Amino acid sequence: MRTADIRQRFLDYFAARGHTVVPSAPLPTPDPTLLLVNAGMVPFKPYFTGEAAPLWQRATSVQKCVRTLDIEEVGKTTRHGSFFQMNGNFSFGDYFKEEAVAFAWDLSTKPWTEGGYGLDPERIWVTVHHSDTDARGIWREVAGLPDERIVARGDEDNFWSMGVPGPCGPCSELYYDRGPALGREGGPAVDEDRYMEFWNLVFMQYERGEGPGKTGYPILGDLPRRNIDTGMGLERMATLLQGVDNLYEIDETRPVLDRAADLAGVRYGADAESDVRLRVVADHVRTALMLLADGTAPGNEGRGYVLRRILRRSVRSMRQLGFQAPALPELLPVARDCMAPSYPEVVASYARISDQAYGEEDAFRATLKQGTTVLDTAVTGVKADGGRSLPGAQAFLLHDTYGFPIDLTLEMAAEQGVEVDREGFTALMNEQRERTRTDARARKSGGTADTAALRTVLDAHGPTDWRAWDTLTTESRVLALLGAEGPVPVARTGDLVTVVLDRTPFYAESGGQDSDAGLLSGASVEAGVVDVQRPLPGLVVHRVRITAGELAVDDTVHAAVDPEWRLGARQAHSGTHVLHAALREVLGPTALQSGSYNRPGYLRLDFPWRGTLSPAVRSEVEEAANRALRRDLPVGVRWTTLPEAKELGALALFDETYGEKVRVVEIGGPWSRELCGGTHVDHASQIGTVALTAESSVGAGMRRLEAAVGIEGFGYLARERDLVGRIAEQLNAPRTELPEKIAGLLDRLKAADRENARLKAKATAGRAAELAGQAVEAGDTLVVTATVDGAADEARALALAVRDRLPPARPGVVAAATSSGGLVLTVNAPAREAGRNASETVKQLLGGRGGGSPEIAQGGGVPAGDLAAILADLPRVVPGGHGQSEGG
């Protein structure tokens, strides 16, 4: 039985019992505390915490999840996978323990032919919290389980909370005995490999207070209404029903593993180390496929780095298995075919997915070459200084600048007999992560981290009456003021505070659109609105600076959006939709927007594409966009359900969470149809113009277009026109002849550069011959020193030219210094055979500064007045030397 069938059976079972089937949310999540959805309940979190009213009393879903905290354990155990699917059924104040237990037992044990999973009831064990006598009694009554198969466990295992104050409660887990061949007898407390957990039922009935970790916090009381959150691991159920040992061997992963084994010429099951690497490949290729399908692009931060790390670990594992050719073109299509029955979007988006994945592998292959050189140089330096440990800062540089995974640094350093300061590296990584989290929290909370105070406001007054789609002004009441230290009763001239209003016309930053600017004014206050955010679902907050008077809680104010700002914002956001549609018209459907930002006069749009766009293609995209403006396409908005919007072909943008009803913005009907909550013009001609200003790379397989829009677009074109006019005037040429005129000038400049280089080389050769003839004896070695007025490259060229003119049978050492304090030193082959070393000699001359290879090395930072003495000292430091040098 396929995993896709197991998945559908779960949804069908609960749909038949009054549950609304909720589609999986995208893996990227707008939750500021998470990068990626890591549990089935995450999309329902606002309903459990009370931040939003639930849309349904009963719901069921199969949620895509990614966890990477224990990524190093992937492949080593049967229980760790970075991507997994969580089957869940949820009750929001409806049924509770008895029904949840009954549903789980019925679906698990009912025969397959009757719509169940057909597990042997005699092999199922359950755990309950030691205090939960209700659950123990229900399991006895509903399932007839004997006491010995109902195991009591403590808070660490069987009490659930989100780790912060809020809902919590005991849980009950279901385990299946896979038989004595897989471990010891005695239940899940004895062996969790033999007894595999496959379902967890969470009974949310209490509210917890502050406290660390999973234990030690107070229970404040009962929740106003009790909820159910369950999670069945789809991969674990597939493992049981397909009769395989672990999740890497089910039908959604085993074909990838087998293809990797074929490519590497190894047999799965023959070698423990190779098996781990094959399992890593099987897991990571599938995870990367699903992240790419949901719009995550490889990058150096956040979820982009998670994806990059997973892709690179899979590629590196293949290289460790002995497969040196590009691996993803062989493996990713296999993962696509495995996942397509459940997620047809991986087929529809495969051109984009594969383009980004293959581009990332190409980049990593180049990174391996470059990063290995940097690592080797660093290790050589550590050894030269007598050290045994690579500094954490160096490992972090390799990770942050070159994308070199820390595990790769650890392994390659160990191969050269050097340890890595892992603690130092981890400290730097934690600093970077905390900066990222702090920035995200500050941005999401409108400049204040006091989300507890904001939640109190939301609980007391309900969601903000948000009017941004309908009006530019409202009469509003101040519900709360928050300063840097928390709530304040009043704000005065010069203060920067967060203001919560009962209603607002201001657009809060979202969907790529910047927030509105404007004013709050009242009987005794004027304040400028500088930022607007949604720190909690349903709550809009305003960051304002008091410019005159004072503002107090309960004051009535006139909230007014700057109309010019809003007009520019509408032009830019509609312009983004137009440019997106034009891009897809020219490049095809794989050029799907993966990120955007727009504010008055400016927009940027990121999309997957390998290679730069030629000037001709950029012009074609710009023309397609402006044709839509000239046709004055109508802009319309409709509300519909998400499935209906998808049937219409509406494009859903990633990182957004959609409710039961979605807002579809159309420009020219099907020409541009996207799910969007932003503000827009009424007709395309109101955008004015879209003028492309830049095209660049923002990562492997990802491009960025930038454009000026509206009056700023016309201004950009006017400045370009004036610039061309000035150049034409200076060159005394008609504008139409400028390309040929400039090309001619460049040709003449290149010819002049070539002539200068030829003359310089001739002069260098002449001087080199003269200097070689003036070489002095230093024991058995000829020594030449010289100075140049130019840069280090000229000193290098002169030193090499002199070296090549020394007698081929005599050891020779040549040093050339620059007037800026640099030194280049080289030795010929006989000198190397005699034990001379350029790098060691430079370090001896310069007191440890500088280095390079045994044949040529250089140093710098020498005071100009010391150069003569350093050059004069060269014959002495050359082993065996006794003579004196002469300046050249």
Instruction: Pull the structure tokens for residue 338.
Output: 């495995």
Q: What is the DSSP string of 438-499?
A: HHHHHHHTTT---HHHHHHHHHHH-S-EE-TTT-SEEEEEEEEEEETTEE-SEEETT-EEEE
Please state, in angstroms and rounded to a whole number, the distance separating the CA atoms of residues 5 and 153: 33
What's the rounded Cα separation, in Å, for the pair 626 and 708?
12
Cβ-in-10-Å burial (0-12, 13-18, 19+) of 883 comes to: middle
Integer Cα distance of 231 and 171 in angstroms:
11
Quote the CA–CA distance of 185 and 127 in Å, as a whole number.
16
Q: Which residue has the tokens 């009831």?
A: 121
Type of residue at 41: M
Q: How far apart are the first and last CA of the chain?
A: 84
Can you tell me the distance from the alpha carbon of 741 to that of 728, in angstroms, rounded to the nearest whole number?
9
**680 has binding-site annotation:** yes
**Separation of alpha carbons 413 and 392, rounded Å:** 12
Identify whether the C-beta of residue 236 lies closer than 8 Å to the C-beta of residue 117. Answer: no
Nearest by Cα to 677 from 517, 477, 534, 518: 534
Known binder of ligand: residue 399?
A: no
Measured at the CA of 425, the angle between CA 422 and CA 427, to 5 degrees, comes to: 110
Please tell me the distance from the alpha carbon of residue 457 to that of residue 500, in angstroms, as a whole number: 8
- To the question of whether residue 338 is assigned a binding role by annotation, the answer is no
Burial of 148 (0-12, 13-18, 19+ CB in 10 A): exposed
Task: At 20, list the tokens.
Answer: 């609304």
Asked if residue 676 belongs to a known ligand binding site, the reply is: yes
Rg (CA), the chain: 34
What contacts 537, CB < 8 A, 6 or more positions away? 46, 51, 52
Coil vs helix vs strand at 277 = helix
Contact 609, 701 (CB under 8 A): yes
List of long-range contacts for 673-678, beta carbons under 8 Å, 24+ apart: 673/648, 673/649, 674/577, 674/580, 674/650, 675/645, 675/650, 675/651, 676/511, 676/573, 676/577, 677/510, 677/511, 678/507, 678/510, 678/511, 678/512, 678/513, 678/573
Known binding residues for Zn(2+) are 573, 577, 676, 680
Known binding residues are 573, 577, 676, 680
